[in-house]
Structure formats: C-alpha cells, structure tokens
Amino acid sequence: MESKTYVYLNGKVIGHIDNPQKFVAEVRAARRKGQISGEINIAHIEKLNSVNINTDRGRLRKPYIIVEGGKSKFTPELAERIKKKEINFSYLVRSGIIEYLDAEEEENALVAIDEASVTEKSTHLDFDLTSILGLSANLAPYAEHNAISRQAMSVNYMKQSEGLYATNFNQRFDSRTYVLFYPQAPLITTAPYEALDVKRHASGQNLVVALSTYYGYNMSDALVINKAAVDRGVGRSMFYKSYTDEERRYPGGQRDRFRMPPPTSEGYMGEHAYSKLSEDGIIEPEMAVDEGDVLIGKVAPPRFLEENIGASGLEERTRDDSVVLKPGENGVVDSILFTETPGATRTVKVRIRSIRIPEKGDKFASRHGQKGVVALIANPEDMPFTASGIVPDILLNPLSIPSRLTFGHLLEEIAGKASAVSGNKFDGTAFTESGRDRLSQYGEVLKSHGFDDNGNEVLYDGITGRPFKASIFTGITYYYRLYHMVSNKMQVRSRGKVQILTHQPTEGKARQGALRFGEMERDALIGYGASLLLKERMLDQSDKTTVLICRQCGGMGYYDHIKRTQICPLCGNSSLAEVEISYAFKVLLDEIRSMHIMPRVKLKE
Amino acid sequence: MANTVNTSSKYIVDYGEPVGMIAAQSLGEPGTQMILRAFHFAGIESTIATSGLPRIVELVDARKKPETPITYVYLEGEYAKNINKAEVVLKKISEVKMSSVVRRVLENFSKGIIKLVLDTQALKANDLTPGQLSQKVAKKLDAATKVDSDGNILIKLKTKKLTEVRSISVKLMKDVVHGVEGAGKAMLQKDTKSGEFYIIAAGSNTEGIIGIEGVDKSRIYTNDVFAMYRQFGIEAARNTLVRELVTTLKEQKIRVDPRHLMIIADAMTYSGFIKGVGRHGLSGQKQSVFAKAAYEETVKHLVNAAAFSEIDNMRGVTENILVGKQIPIGTGSVHLAIKKEDMQKVKPESKHKK
C-alpha cells in the first residue's frame, strides 16, 4: 500500500522516508551519542503513519534511564561513582545513560517502573516511583492513600502555610509576610522531604488530633482547638507588613518632602493623627500604632496650580500626602529603612509587626487536603481527655474523612502517634510499602507502648467526666496554619463613603465599601414580590437624591439661594416639584442631555 | 368535593405574583447544574438528538432550525401493524442522496461529460433503476443523459468549463433521488407497548411527509418547533416547546415544575408567532425605553427613543428600579382606592351601631 511515511518537524511536513523504524532509531542513536541536541524528540506514530520530530519550546519532558537489550545502562559501578561524587547527573545525560522524553516520544517507549521489571522489550527505566508525583506533591506523606484531587489541594495549602520562609526575615522589608513562632519538623516525612532538607524551613506543627465531634462546633470543616494549646503557642505567628513611600520629583523643580505636615497644608488630618511622628516626620521604632495613625509624614506640591501664585506666594502652599495605617490594622513599628533609589529620590520603608494568635475564623490544614476553620477555642477543662490526661489540640470531625477518601490522613495520624510514643521517625514516602504493612508496623509500636494498635483511645467527657461509649481515634498529625485570617479580612459598614459619580456606596474592603446588592439579589426580591424592601435597598440605602422637576417643561431645576426661590432655567417657571429619584438616574438624564437629547419628566401629582 | 376545591384554590397564583421572574429563576438555576453536552445512553433516539443546555438554549432562543431535527411518524390502520406495509412507507419517506447510490464520479472536463458509476446494490435497495435515475438527472440538469451498456449514467453537459463541470458534479451528489427531501434518514421502530410500527426520521420536513399514504396525519410529531408551527399552528408550537423543555430537563434528571415552562412557552408564543427570549425577541419588544436600554444596546435604544420622541410610561419593573420607584409587582401592585385625605371626609356609617 502506501509505503511512504511523512516526516513532520514541529508540525510541518519536511519530507518522506521509506523505513520509519530505521530512521527513528538512527536519530535516537545520534542523540544519545551527542551528535545532535539532546532537546530533540522524535516519535514514530504508526496509527497516522508519520514520524514527528519536535524541537520547539514548551514541551514537558521527563528524564528516564535508557535500557538496551534488557539491561539498564545505569550500572552499579556508575551508582558507586555518583556516591563518591566523581560524576553527576548531567554527566549521565551527556554520556547517553539518561535521556529526556516528551509526551509524544513517550508513546514509543516501554518504561519499566523498577529494575526488577525490566524485560527484553523495555526501552527505558524510571528512577523511582515517587517521580510520578512532582516535587511539592512528594513532600506530603502517604500520598498513595489519598484521592488525587485532595493531594493537589494539599500542595496548594502547603504554599499558603506560615513557617520560617527565610532566616533573614528580620532584615527584609517584604510587603506582607508571616513567620510562625514555633515551627516543627514533621514526625512523618518522605524521602524527598529529607533529601531537600525542607525541615530547616518547616511550616507547621505536630498536633494531637482526635477524630471527635464536639457539641456541633466542628460541623462541616469547622475545627475546635484547645485554648491551652493556643496559649502554649500553637499556630502563633508574627505578621509583618511594610509601608513604602518616596520623595517624588515633579516637572517644574517641585518635589515631595518627608516632614511633619503643617496645619495649613491641604488635607490636614488633625494634630492627633501626627502625634506619633518624630521631628523628621517619620515614626519611631517600637511605637504602637493603630488605624488612622500617620506612619510617614509627607507633603507634596498642590495638585492644581492657582492663578494668583505670585500674589500670595510668600508661604509655600503644600498638600498633605502622608502614609496612614490602613483601617482595621494595628501593631508595633518593627523597623524603619531609609534609602535612596538610583534616581536620587529618598525612600522610606516602615515595617509594622503584630502577633497573630489563632482565633475563631482562622484557617488550618493538614497535609492531606483537609482544611478547616476554627469555630471554637475550647477551654481545656471542657474538652475530652485520655486516661493519661492528654487533651487533644484539635478536634476534627470524623465525617470529613470518608467522603473525601483521604485515608493518608488517618495513616499519618497513627504513624505520628507511634512516632511520638517510641521516639522514632517514620517514613511516609509514597509507593514504598503497602498500607497494610505500615498499619501493622505502627500498630505493633503502639501495642508495645501500651496503646491500642488501631490508634483508638478511650476519651472522657471533659464536662461530665464520664468515658465516651465509643473509643475515639486519636493521634498526631502535622498541621499547617494558613495565612487566611479573619483579622485581615473582616470588615463592617453601616454607612460610609460613596462614589463621586453615582453617589452609590464604594466597593471593596480597602475603601470601607459595602456589599453589592447585585442583579441576582435584585431578581430574588422581585421574585418574592417584596417591592418596598427592594426600593429600600436600591434607593433609600444607596443613592437617593431629591431633585427639582419643572411642572411645565419636565426639565430639572435648582434652588436659587440668593433669590430664595426654586427656578427652572429652561422656562423660568418657579413651580417645581421635589422628586426623590436615584442619583444614577439623575446622572443618566444629565448624560442624555449632553447628547443633545432632551428627556422630560412628566409628573403625576 | 368542597374540600378538593378548597385545597386547589389555595394554589392559585395570587394577583401581582411575579410568575415570569419565578419561571426564569426556576429554569435558570437548574441550568447552571446541567452538564454541557452529556454523553447519552445507548439507543437510537437519544444518540442523535442534542440535549442538555445547548438544547434548552436552542429552544428558548427560538432558532429557526434545530441542530438535530427528529420527526416521529405514526402510521394508520394496517400500515402500523404490518411490517411490510410499514416498510413501504419508510422507503417513501427516507431521504436517499445521489452520493449513496453512486460509487464513483468520473468527470471528463474536455468533453463536458460526467460519468456516474452506480452502486447497483444500493440502487436495488431503493427500488431504483439506472433508467429512472438518468431521467431524474436529465430533468434536474436539463442535459442529455444516457445509460451505457455497463449500466453507468453518462451526462452530456452544455458547458465544458472546468469549474462549472466540477460544481455541477458536486451539487449533483447532494441531490435527493428518493424519498422526501429534508426528511432525513428514516428508521422503522416498534412500539414495545402497543406493538405498532412507527418511523423516526432525522429531518423535519413534515409538509412532505404528511401527504404520504399510510401516515397518520393527526399524530405526526417533530422536535422542530417551527415545523410544528407551520404544520399545525401556534398552539401546537407552544405545546411542542413545553414538551421539548420538559423532556430535555427530564433527561438530565432535573425536576422543574412544568407550569414554569408553560409560562415561558406562553410568553414566547402569545403573539401568534414564535419569539425568542433574547434581544431580538421578548426583551427587545418591551414597552419601556429604559428597560430596553438597560438590557442590551443601550445607546441604540436611547437614540431611537429620542428620534421618535417616545414616552416611557413607567409600568415595568426595570425602569422603576432605575428611577427609584416602588415596582408594580407583588406588594407594589396594590394601591389604596381612597386617598388618605379623602378618608377623613368620609363619615363613619352607623351600620355597626345598635
């Protein structure tokens, strides 16, 4: 039939060949010898009778050990030399022992998952089963016992965790960071975790967790945490936030100046706002600050140049452009940095610090995609306790496990317990051991220390003192404290700022805004038939204004304060009606009028 | 009996109830849960038809042609019971294109001749002879045709231009040689309950199908709302809309009270022809200038209103919210019959006094 096989280079036909197998083998051999670039991938797709060569960017590639004739090219001698640090990884790549395959070339490969399963047909050998997962996903233990979706979430939570992100955090002026007070290395780690030495920058704590309900306070992903644990420092962290400002230069030789703004300056906020500033106009370290306090006093030239600038120009007119602590924030001035940018503008950075003690509404997560929000900080005397008097740090609702298939969480909990009682760390690297073997191993450790081998424990009700009928699964789990905290997010408003254009309330926390009563909420009220409630939301609590409408011509009039009469500028009529409309509608009428269309409002008395 | 009347009267919609809004929400919210283009279960009927959200959108937008038209043709008397007779009707309906009876097309551009190599088996299956086909082609193209000794059709065209010959031959392949044009491929089905035979066609040319002998004219049904409208009128179109909406939602196991769907279908058809819900249909034909401007194409509506000096009577919902008035729906739809001031003029009647 058709004997010619087309060859595609990056998706474009460049020619045809007769013997694709031979051609592909030749290209691969040349690549392994280093005669052509190792970044070239070639694949023979039999179904389409084509040979695809890819050299373009953006292909995901994975390294494999080459297998030839049923034998891995990575010999024990090479392993020995690597141990002695005589050779490294890139040497292996260069010498044709390891090669990178892209998605298309992988279709031609038969990869053995370990040395033992290499056969005559195998073309490649994978390094380790952990390479199925990525770097971050490999840091969580018992990944093979969790649903993959949960594992993906766990990676996300790791990125949101607080810890020791850098040892020089004291010298840095990051715009916002958190540092955990007492980070701990996890009891259960994985091989990649140890290899990367992540524990030197640990970002969580080993907590005693009991899978128990507590008066409904831990329903649907809520957490109950022990007040004594919080007092001892569980989840306690420092929040750093930096404010920056610079002396900007303007065309015309004017520039900003760091100083105490004079009371004559435009937008002066009153004496008390500047009371914490020192003489140079910048706040002192270790000063306690609250919302509305000025951190950096700065004056700027006025925004608009006035005409009589020469006449009254003896005193320089200024505008207050100070940096103020944002609403809802407080803390202590931690450090101040003076510097100069290359453009010779002076720059000041002020770092504020405040302690973040876990409170109701703060977020925690384990390494298995199990997140939760603190709903109750329970008094330790009211919490369940074990026979030996241990009170759990966290009460996790048992219903959070079965539907999410995060059995790794349970395995970590029991392994953590075994680790704590025996003083040995256990390894939780994925795919290294069967779950059954692990469970029996931890069970034996627990048993030899006088605990139940299933990790269950008889708990006593802290309020009545009676033992619970069911024994409760208790153990130690590594928990992250995530940086989503209520204190940074909560906001209230009953009245406040409005937008200039529409007179409607502002939006967003930064602007002290309101919550939008949107289109769908509007539809809900219409559907309910609550016409007066709808009017209250859309008008009375939003942008209600009173305008004067001319009874004759239907145009908009105004109140003349000098003549003390209402007047319609169009027809001179002074018989106007006061009408309540939304300011947005007034703006609409104005805009229509600006398009040379005359809208007339006809009134019914 | 009295009890039944009482209970049912409790469920009568009150005056001023915003039924349209509730209907829209009742269809809109489950719409968010629907799977886009779900996979179907095995079976002939549902495998062809569009379903899920695309189908709902198609119905509500009042598209002129559905993506997958289907016609259910029921048969009369003997035809419904006898499979041989039913198959006769099937053959009359099922659309056969030229391309399915022709094996190869050979074009001779220099002489302006097209040679059709016929698929004899396919011809036989459709009760056609080369002679009939050749006559049909001759009529269609107004050209001299001839059946040669091998049973192939030779067409002598008047033109010799390459592009014209090619375009004629391409068009020729799409010609319907047998069956009803636009009826699509038809299949014979047997109703498992009543045991009668009926036909499913993947087209919606009800006008063509209805004239065929043996077809039960009163029971023919298609999911093409416009075809139903042309054939049976607006009431049928409205019922088709409701039926299609209900079945589409049922397929996805979404429960919506059919009365909401009836409201939507009524709103789409009350004017005597089918209107979509969007900009070109219901929303675009609102009375109020402001309501139209608030929905889509703001400037166009305002300019038009100015050009024709339109008056907005402020009777709808959207325009009253815009202005900041109480909406004339629900609690806003009732008014005091007597003014407050006038109440004081009224003297209390002595009826209740003894």
Whether A214 and A200 map to the same domain: the answer is yes
Whether A27 and A98 map to the same domain: the answer is yes
Are A54 and A37 in contact by the 8 Å Cβ rule? The answer is no
pLDDT of residue B138: 82
Min Cα distance A546 → chain B (Å) is 11
Residue A84 resides in a domain: yes
Whether A219 and A245 map to the same domain: the answer is no
pLDDT for residue B160 is more than 80: no
pLDDT of residue A197: 92
Q: Which of A460, A481, A502 is the last residue of a domain?
A: A481
Inter-chain residue contact B323 with A582, CB threshold 8 Å: yes
CB under 8 Å to A519, separation ≥6 — which residues?
Answer: none
Min Cα distance B261 → chain A (Å) is 16
Nearest CA in chain A to B293: A588
Domain B286-333 is of which CATH architecture?
Orthogonal Bundle (1.10)
Inter-chain residue contact A527 with B21, CB threshold 8 Å: yes
Min Cα distance B302 → chain A (Å) is 8
Confidence of residue B2 (pLDDT cuts 50, 70, 90): confident
Min Cα distance A515 → chain B (Å) is 18
Q: Which residues of A touch B315 (CB under 8 A)?
A: none
Inter-chain residue contact B331 with A532, CB threshold 8 Å: yes
Nearest CA in chain A to B29: A520
pLDDT of residue B334: 87
Mean pLDDT per segment of 10 residues, for chain A of length 605 residues? Answer: 77 89 93 92 90 93 91 90 91 91 93 90 90 89 94 94 94 94 95 92 95 94 96 95 91 86 88 91 93 92 64 67 91 94 88 95 96 96 94 96 95 96 93 92 95 94 94 96 93 90 90 90 93 93 92 90 90 89 93 89 84
Are A425 and A187 in contact by the 8 Å Cβ rule? The answer is yes
Q: If you classify domain B96-178 with CATH, what class do you get?
A: alpha beta
Whether A10 and A118 map to the same domain: the answer is yes
Residue A500 resides in a domain: yes
Q: Which of A87, A106, A127 is the last residue of a domain?
A: A127
Which is more confidently placed, B230 or A314?
B230
Whether A505 and A531 map to the same domain: the answer is yes
The domain limits of chain B are 13-67+224-269, 71-94+182-222, 96-178, 286-333
- Residue-wise pLDDT for B186-226, tens only, equals 888 888 888 888 888 888 888 888 888 888 888 889 989 99
pLDDT of residue A2: 47
Residue of A502, A525, A531 to mutate, testing the B interface (most B Cβ within 10 Å of its Cβ): A531
pTM for the complete prediction?
0.78
Nearest CA in chain A to B23: A527
Inter-chain residue contact B303 with A597, CB threshold 8 Å: yes
Are A453 and A446 in contact by the 8 Å Cβ rule? The answer is yes
Confidence of residue B37 (pLDDT cuts 50, 70, 90): low
Residue of B27, B289, B323 to mutate, testing the A interface (most A Cβ within 10 Å of its Cβ): B323
Provide the pairing of β-strand B176-178 with B186-190.
unpaired
Are B89 and B119 in contact by the 8 Å Cβ rule? The answer is no
Residue of A525, A532, A534 to mutate, testing the B interface (most B Cβ within 10 Å of its Cβ): A534
Residue A408 resides in a domain: yes
CA distances from B108 to A353, B137, B156, B159, B161 (A): 89, 17, 10, 11, 11
Cα distance between residue A233 and residue A226, in whole Å: 11
Residues in B whose CB is inside 8 Å of some CB of A read: 16-18, 21-22, 24-25, 302-303, 306, 311, 317, 321-333
Residue A486 resides in a domain: no
pLDDT of residue A1: 38
* H helix or E strand, kind and range, residue A237: strand A237-246
Q: Which residues of B touch A603 (CB under 8 A)?
A: none
Phi, psi angle pair for A78, to nearest 5°: -65, -40
- Residue-wise pLDDT for B70-101, tens only, equals 888 888 888 888 888 888 888 888 888 888 88
Min Cα distance A499 → chain B (Å) is 17
pLDDT of residue A316: 67
| Residue A108 belongs to domain with CATH number | 3.90.1070.20
Number of inter-chain CB pairs under 8 A, A vs B: 66
Whether A297 and A215 map to the same domain: the answer is no
Whether A500 and A551 map to the same domain: the answer is yes
Which of left, alpha, beta for A318 (phi over 0: left; psi -120 to 50: alpha)? beta
Domain B71-94+182-222 is of which CATH architecture?
2-Layer Sandwich (3.30)
Do you know the residue count of chain A? Answer: 605
| Residue A526 belongs to domain with CATH number | 3.90.1800.10
Whether A250 and A342 map to the same domain: the answer is yes
Whether A163 and A118 map to the same domain: the answer is no
Whether A107 and A201 map to the same domain: the answer is no
Min Cα distance B85 → chain A (Å) is 47
Residue A134 resides in a domain: no
Nearest CA in chain A to B334: A531
**What is the separation, in whole angstroms, between the first and last Cα of chain B?**
40
Residue A310 resides in a domain: no
Inter-chain residue contact B332 with A531, CB threshold 8 Å: yes
Residues in A whose CB is inside 8 Å of some CB of B read: 522-524, 526-532, 534-535, 538-539, 544, 580-582, 584-585, 588, 592, 595, 597, 602
Phi, psi angle pair for B144, to nearest 5°: -80, 130
Cα distance between residue A475 and residue A421, in whole Å: 10
Whether A599 and A500 map to the same domain: the answer is yes
Q: Which of A481, A499, A530 is the last residue of a domain?
A: A481
| Residue A322 belongs to domain with CATH number | 2.40.50.150
Q: If you classify domain B13-67+224-269 with CATH, what class do you get?
A: mainly alpha
Nearest CA in chain A to B16: A529
pLDDT of residue B119: 82
Chain mean position to CA B255: 22
Question: A535 lies in which domain range?
Answer: 491-605
A289 forms bridges with which residues in the sheet? A331
Inter-chain residue contact A582 with B322, CB threshold 8 Å: yes
Residue A132 resides in a domain: no
Are B51 and B57 in contact by the 8 Å Cβ rule? The answer is no
Q: Which residues of A touch B21 (CB under 8 A)?
A: 523, 526-527
Nearest to A534 among B16, B327, B333 (CB): B327
Nearest CA in chain A to B289: A599
Nearest to A527 among B25, B302, B331 (CB): B25
Catalytic choice (A126, A197, A221, A256): A221
Number of domains in chain A: 4
Inter-chain residue contact A531 with B323, CB threshold 8 Å: no
Whether A347 and A242 map to the same domain: the answer is yes
Angle at CA of residue B203, ends B197 and B209, nearest 5°: 60
Q: Is A221 a catalytic residue?
A: yes
Residue A133 resides in a domain: no
Q: Which residues of A touch B17 (CB under 8 A)?
A: 529
Nearest CA in chain A to B303: A597
B266: tokens are 């009524």
Min Cα distance B117 → chain A (Å) is 24
A559 forms bridges with which residues in the sheet? A566
């640990």: which residue's tokens?
A202
